[in-house]
Structures are given as C-alpha cells and as structure tokens.
Amino acid sequence: MSVDTQERGTGLVERWRDRRDVSRPPRRPGAWRRAVLLWGVLVTLLAAGLVFLFFFSAAFVVQDVQVEGAKGELADSVVFEADIPQGRPLARVSETRLAERVLEGEKRVRSVSLDRRWPSTIVYEVQLREPALALRGGGTTWLADAGGVVYDSVEKASHNLPAVTVAEKPQDVSTGTVLGLVELWRLRPDPAELEGEISTPRLGSNGDVTIRIDQLTIRWGPPVEAEKKWKVVQALVGQDAIDPQGEIPQTIDVSIPGTPVVTGIPPAQG
C-alpha cells in the first residue's frame, strides 16, 4: 500500500471521529448525581410510608386477642396482665415488655411468646408451670415447680404429688428452700430400702426438716446435700441396732452428714 493511500485512510478515520464527537451530546456531570439523589428520595419516601403504614396508621391494629396453652380464668388473666389495648398497631406491640408483665403478674405461667397474625390478630402462646411439690401450711396448699417457684394455691393437690408441711406461709418459702425440698423427694430411696414408709416431711420455722419413717425420726437439718444424707440414712438403717419398726422410738440426726448422731439405740444385752 502506498503512502498516499495510508494518508487518505487515516484522514477518513479522523473525519469520522470528528463527526461522531460533534453529533454526540455533551455529557453533563451532574445528571448522574441527580438520578442517584432522586432514587434516594424515592427509597426514603417508600420507607417512611411503610413505617407509617405499619407503626402509626389504623391499617394493621389489634382487633382480636387469642391465648394458646391456657383456658378459662387463666387465659383471661394472661390477657389482663399483658395489657395490650385494642387499636394498638401490631408492629408496636413489644414481646419483651409483654412477657415481663405477664410473668410478673401471673406466676402460673412459665413462659409466654407473641405471635402476630396480620392484619389484626395477636396470639399469646403460653407454657404453664408443672407442679413438682405441694407445700401445706396455714390451712392452705400451694404448688411449686421444679425450678423452686411457688406459683398457685389449690384446694387439694394430687395424691401423686410429693408434699411437705411448712410452719410458715407456703408462698413465703424461698426458692432455694423449695429446690432443696424437691431434691429431697426426688432422691428418696425406695421404702423397702428404708424398712418403712416415709411420712410427709415437715419444714420448721428454723428452716430444718424432720422426717418420720414409722418409729424412726430423721432430723434432716436444712434441705441441702440430699444425696449425701440419704446415703447416710440408708447405711444406718441397714444396721441391726436401728429398726424403724421397733417398739423403741429412735432418732437419726444427719444435719451434718459427715458426723451423724443416733439416739434411742437399746443397750446391748450382756
């Protein structure tokens, strides 16, 4: 290819580029920024609209309240303690605060959660406490759960439920004491191993527990170290000199399980 031909080709390319540049509208640096700003405004308005719709408008408000896991008077009590008024936006109902109010005001409830069912229903999903022990005292009977919470007064407890007689008001017994009493019953040996039936334990005003096995009295002391104390009692009852069915009343003091004290042992026959 000759030099003239190359020059003519180069000139054509340059003229084409010049015409393209002339026909193309000049770029405006601010157009992109305005587009981004417009989209930002639209997104903000949309978010604000959604917030207003769900949190402040009357479109999604509480109109129906239901309770699952409880019935009758207890369900009514849950609704009362929750204290969520009709007409409150569903999105503004706080599950944390609701649970705090219910658990503080209704001890029979172990846990409560909130289920929002749009557009206008809230459901309280309730789990109730299960009784592990009955406390009797002052003419009343109260139920306590395995967590040591005394939560309900009843006319009569189930015969299958362990019971303890208390000197103070049952509802005033501390959580730690109730836990100890539950453990005492849970770890108790079979009656055959103790050679007699265990009577209802009694919790005195001094915090000490007393248990009777027919003619044998066990001074338990505070309701602690249940496993260790029961092992000591079993070992002592296994001795010939200690007989829960004997004619002579006997006492085993295991308030300090490492140094038990036995009284009422008949003198050895010489």
**Surface-to-core class of residue 216, CB atoms within 10 Å of its CB (0-12 exposed, 13-18 middle, 19+ buried):** buried
C-beta separation of 35 from 28 below 8 A: no
Domains within the chain, CATH numbers bracketed: 64-128 (3.10.20.310), 131-186 (no CATH), 187-264 (no CATH)
Ranges under pLDDT 50 in the chain: 3, 5, 7, 9, 13, 16, 22, 53
pLDDT at 247: 87
Please name which of 192, 193, 188 lies closest in space to residue 223, comparing C-alpha atoms: 188
Dist. CA 79–CA 85, nearest whole Å: 10
User: What was the pLDDT predicted at 266?
Assistant: 77
pLDDT in tens, 67-85: 999 999 999 999 999 999 9
Pairing state of beta strands 150-154 and 209-213?
A: unpaired
Token output for 260 = 């038990």
| pLDDT at site 61 | 85
Residue 155, pLDDT score: 94
CA distance 142 to 125: 25
| CA 103 to the chain's CA centroid | 9
